[in-house]
Amino acid sequence: MKSNTVTVVKMDKILNIAEADLCKGDILLLQAGDLVPADLKLIEARGLELDEFDLTGEIRPVDKKVDGEDVFAYKGSQVIRGNGKGIVIATGDETEYGEILKQRWGEVRNRFPPLIKGRYLVFLVFLFPPFIVSLSRHSNPALVYVIFLAIAIFSVLIQNNELFKCVLTSREVEKIKSQNIQMHDETSLDCIDNIDMVCFDKTGVLTTREIEVKRIHFADEILDMNSFASDKPGYNLAKIASALCNDVVFFEKIDLADSIDRALIAFAVKNGINVNELMLKSKRIYEKPFDSEDRYMACGFELEGKKTYFAKGDPEIILRMCKKYLTASGIEKEADLEFLLSVNTKTAFINQNGDVAIALAYSSEPLEIPPLHYTFLCLLQLENPLKGG
């Protein structure tokens, strides 16, 4: 099997070399779709976003900026958007990913019962003389064997505290594992009575990696997805915007979309939108891909002779682009101070609950491409659903 190739800069030339030949100090080039093969310190980053789920459990792509707090790209992460350049600072087992693997291997080794050490067998030497004497004098040799074997086993267990605990807890460990609870170190049962508080890393531990639309916040109404039943114009437009406002140009590429785009598309499908048919009917006439600095994306479509533009992104950014807002019943109103405060309050509430707030806006103005001003449509509240029992 051929080794993976990576792109590096050496002597002012761009070269493709085997991943195994990477060394500290090499300058590595990254682009969308690449798996980061080593730990890097970034020296250039243009719209660079990395998926670090396997390392940190973080479900959302992480923005990387040279002038930001996090200027490192780690082995095992994947480039979602943008491109960059970095200096290799660690490879192989020396990377953060390598350290994680070594820790997990150490945990696996710790799960095996401890071996009986030689010093614990010394006591058996002292049992040998009385065993011989008893065997020669007793009329039932089998009983002597059983008694002395039991004494020998008990003495070894008493001296080897770890092995003794392993024997006592093995049945309890099996019960725990039968409940789909994974234990990396069975010795943690020793201190379980002293635990007052347990902290969990939510993403990837208690929750799935996927995101779902939980609620839709309109200016005059909040829609819970558990009780979705409405054909109001605002709701219908929100479903269409969710299906079309993404970076997915071809329906066949939906599975490669990021988690937020997949969540919005799934929401549209769940509520009666045939996304494939809608994409075939809609002619994409404008697009601005998501950028981590702008914090929004926009696209335009011609559907049944009518041009409509959508924008999606950070509520703060989308609000600045809007002069009007739409109610759930389809009435457009001027965006006043009360409306702006309401959206900011709802956004803060969503974030405080550990969910993600995404804003949608639209425009049907045919005079400007792209439009200078949008109409605020709604806030989408996204959550990580809990894993099944």
In this predicted model, what pLDDT tens digit does every residue of 4-36 receive, in sequence order?
Answer: 889 999 888 888 999 889 999 999 999 888 899
Asked if 362 and 325 count as a contact pair (C-beta separation under 8 A), the reply is no
| Nearest of 212, 280, 215, 271 to residue 239 by alpha carbon | 271
Give the pLDDT confidence of 311-341 residue by residue, as tens digits. 999 999 999 999 999 999 899 999 999 999 9
Give the pLDDT confidence of 123-163 residue by residue, as tens digits. 666 677 777 777 777 777 788 778 878 877 777 666 666 65
Q: How far apart are CA 218 and CA 325, in angstroms?
A: 9
pLDDT of the residue at 366: 64
pLDDT of the residue at 48: 87
Q: Residue 307: phi, psi to the nearest 5?
A: -95, 130
DSSP 79-99: EEEEEEEEEEEE-GGGSHHHH
pLDDT of the residue at 338: 93
In the predicted model, is pLDDT for residue 60 greater than 60? yes
In the predicted model, is pLDDT for residue 348 greater than 60? yes
pLDDT of the residue at 1: 37
Give Cα separations from 187 to 113, 114, 162, 163 (angstroms): 11, 11, 9, 11
Q: How far apart are CA 121 and CA 114, in angstroms?
A: 15
Provide mean pLDDT across the span 175-192. Answer: 69
User: Which residues have a Cβ under 8 Å from the Cβ of 95 and sit 6 or more positions away?
Assistant: 38, 39, 74, 75, 76
DSSP 8-state symbol, 2:
P
Mean pLDDT taken over the chain: 81
Give the pLDDT confidence of 62-113 residue by residue, as tens digits. 888 888 778 999 998 988 888 899 999 999 888 988 887 776 655 545 544 5
Lowest mean pLDDT among 37-51, 180-194, 221-235: 180-194
Tokens 């101070």 — which residue?
337
- CA gyration radius, the chain: 31
In the predicted model, is pLDDT for residue 117 greater than 70? no
Residue type present at position 221: E
User: Which residues have a Cβ under 8 Å from the Cβ of 381 and sit 6 or more positions away?
Assistant: 213, 214, 215, 216, 217, 350, 355, 356, 357
Query: Which domains does the chain show, CATH number per domain?
Result: 5-97 (2.70.150.10), 113-194 (no CATH), 212-383 (3.40.1110.10)
pLDDT of the residue at 316: 94
Position with higher pLDDT, 114 vs 210: 210
CA atoms within 13 A on the CB side of 156: 17
Position with higher pLDDT, 89 vs 56: 89
Highest mean pLDDT among 59-63, 207-211, 293-297: 293-297
Lowest mean pLDDT among 147-161, 221-235, 374-388: 147-161
pLDDT of the residue at 47: 81
pLDDT of the residue at 327: 92
Lowest mean pLDDT among 100-114, 225-239, 266-280, 304-318: 100-114
* pLDDT-based confidence at residue 185 (cuts at 50, 70, 90): low
Lowest mean pLDDT among 50-54, 151-155, 238-242, 278-282: 151-155
Position with higher pLDDT, 360 vs 121: 360
Task: Tell whether pTM > 0.75.
Answer: no
Strands 322-326 and 374-383: parallel
Q: Is 324 left (phi over 0), alpha (psi -120 to 50) or beta?
A: beta
